[in-house]
Structure 1
Amino acid sequence: MKPKDLEVKRKHHYVWARYLKAWANKNDIHYITKKGLPATDSVKGLARELGFYKITSFNDDDLLYIRTISKLASDDLQSLHMGFLENFITISNVLKSRSKYHHADTDLASQILQFNVLEDMHGKIEREAWPLISELRRGNTDLLVDQHQRSYFCFYIAQQLIRTKTVRDKSIDASSRNLPEFVTSAMRRNWWFVSFMLGINLGKGLLETPKDRHFLIENKTGKPFITSDRPVVNVHSCLKKTLPDSPPEKLDLYYPLSPTHAYMINDSEDYNNLKGMVTIEDVAHLNKCMAETCGETVYGATRESILQVRQHIPQWKR
């Protein structure tokens, strides 16, 4: 066992720091602060929250809630959900057992189980997707023909879409307005698992999307793509007619990979023109979409690129 295996990982990134480095000079990246000012900071300190992936032990209501959500999916997905759930039930039982003799806040074994397990699972998903991400950033799509690499990438994108702080907070907020309190309470307690489960569902859907609806975008305009604390966004036109708190019927997913490359997985053909050539107007539109859907901030390779979209960030919208 390595010494790092005995470290409690409390600082959890909901956007991968290694991903953000594509916009960084060394480790520093441009972003908009909570006061609306441009700033630079290390990617290691951004898009993270203490204990974001902290797991908790289950009670009967928690398991009923999770299984009820799972039953909305297909049989094969339910089987996947339950496989992961059984593993976490085992961890839950260990935590309950140790709590009889140890205080969870000071017991190292309990802390490692609570803070490290899900964090490590997301780390594994990231590492598996990295070879393809690296090649796509170079404009090389050869690895897309490998089914394993495509699978890793689709599940990575799906988890990255669902796992952010913004999606968590908006989901819980919508539940609190539309559903009984006991349901919202169950969602709040178990979002760490439910979000992972929803990511599995979405990943399978993305993998089944026809290959011609997957494509790499190369930006040669000189105007850089930006990204945000919610880097996978739906830019489908149906959003204009989607009611608040309602899920969109269609997805055109846009994921910037670097200032010069991005990836799309689309239901529509609205963005097919980007397969050939990207204009400055296209970049401006996609950057605007990224700013409008972010949680708190955007990230960019230059100070100018983030200032150009600050007016579209929800709390700074004018």
Structure 2
Amino acid sequence: MNPKDFEVKRKHHYVWARYLQAWASKKEIHYITKKGLPATESVKGVAKELGFYKITTFNDDDLLYIRTISKLASKDLQQIHEGFLNNFIAISNILKGRAREHQPDTDLVSQILQFNVLEDMHGKIERQAWPMISELRKGNTSLLADIVQKHSFFFYIAQQLVRTKTVRDKSLDASSRHLPQFVTDAMKRNWWFVSFLLGINLGKGLLEVPKERHFLIENKTIKPFITSDRPVVNVHSCMCMTLPDEPPEKLDLYYPLSPTHAYMINDSEDYNHLKEQVTIEDVIHLNKRMAETCGETVYSSTKESILQARQYIPQWKR
């Protein structure tokens, strides 16, 4: 056994530190602080929250809520949901059993189950997507012909879209304003699982997008792509008319892979011209959309880029 198997992983990143490394110099990345100031930080010191993927035990209301959400999906997806849910029900039962004889906050087994299981699952998803990310950053799209690699990459993108702090907080906020309190309470208790479930649904949908609607774009301009604490964003034109609490009708997903490369999975043809050439105006537009939809901050390889983007971050918008 590896000694690390007995370490409790409390510091959870909702944006992968290895992904952010593409914007870092000597492991330091430029970002905007909570006070609106430019700063640098280690990629391991940003986009994280203690216990972000901490799992909880289920009660009957939790299972009813989760299965109600699941029933909105197709039958084949419901079966996948149920398989993952059964695994976590087993963990929940173990945690309940140990709680009768041990103090959960000090019991190592309970702590490992609560803090490590989902964190490790996301780590596996990231590692499986890494070969594709690494090659796309070089401009090489050959791995897209490998259905296993493509599936892993699209599933990773789907999970990255729904797993961030911003999506969690916005979802809970919308629920609190439009749904009964008991529903919001159930969502809050079970978001760790529901977000994973939604990522499964989205991943399947992305795989069904026609080949010509997803593509790599290369930025050869002097202005770098930036990223954020919410790195997968919907840049479809319908977002201009979509109310904050409403789901968008269409998706044009933009995911920067590095300062020079990005990937798009689109419903529209609005960005097809980027297959051939990316202009400075295109970079400015995409960086603006990235900043407008971030949670708290943006990340970049240069101080100049984050200062330019700061004016579009919601809390610093002018």
Between the aligned residues of both structures, percent identity stands at 81
Note the 1:106-185 alignment, pairs <5 A: 106-185=106-185
Deviations 1:270-300 (A, max 9, x none): 0000000000000000000000000000000
Distance in 1 (alpha carbons) for counterparts of 2:244 and 2:235: 16
Distance in 2 (alpha carbons) for counterparts of 1:150 and 1:204: 11
Note the 1:1-318 alignment, pairs <5 A: 1-318=1-318
Give the number of equivalent residue pairs.
Answer: 318
Runs of at least 4 residues off by over 6 Å = none
Distance in 2 (alpha carbons) for counterparts of 1:263 and 1:316: 27
Deviations 1:32-89 (A, max 9, x none): 0000000001000100000000000000000000000000000000000000000000
Distance in 1 (alpha carbons) for counterparts of 2:299 and 2:234: 18
Distance in 1 (alpha carbons) for counterparts of 2:265 and 2:193: 25
Deviations 1:229-258 (A, max 9, x none): 000000000111112200000000000000
Secondary structure at the residue paired with 1:220?
coil
Distance in 1 (alpha carbons) for counterparts of 2:131 and 2:205: 22
Equivalent position amino acid for 1:230 in 2: R
Secondary structure at the residue paired with 2:311?
helix
Distance in 1 (alpha carbons) for counterparts of 2:272 and 2:214: 10
Which TM-score applies when normalising by structure 1?
A: 1.00
Secondary structure at the residue paired with 1:263?
strand
Deviation of residue 26 (structure 1)? 1.7
Distance in 2 (alpha carbons) for counterparts of 1:35 and 1:68: 41
The Cα RMSD (Å) is 0.4
Deviation of residue 227 (structure 1)? 0.1
Equivalent position amino acid for 2:134 in 1: S
Which TM-score applies when normalising by structure 2?
A: 1.00
* Long gaps (5+) in structure 1: none
Equivalent position amino acid for 1:89 in 2: I
Distance in 2 (alpha carbons) for counterparts of 1:134 and 1:225: 17
Distance in 2 (alpha carbons) for counterparts of 1:161 and 1:224: 22
When structure 1 is superposed on structure 2, of 200-209 and 239-248 the one drifting more is: 239-248
Equivalent position amino acid for 2:174 in 1: A
Distance in 2 (alpha carbons) for counterparts of 1:245 and 1:162: 15
Distance in 1 (alpha carbons) for counterparts of 2:99 and 2:283: 53
Distance in 2 (alpha carbons) for counterparts of 1:230 and 1:130: 19
Distance in 2 (alpha carbons) for counterparts of 1:129 and 1:119: 16
* Long gaps (5+) in structure 2: none
Secondary structure at the residue paired with 1:73?
coil
Deviation of residue 19 (structure 1)? 0.1
Equivalent position amino acid for 1:310 in 2: R
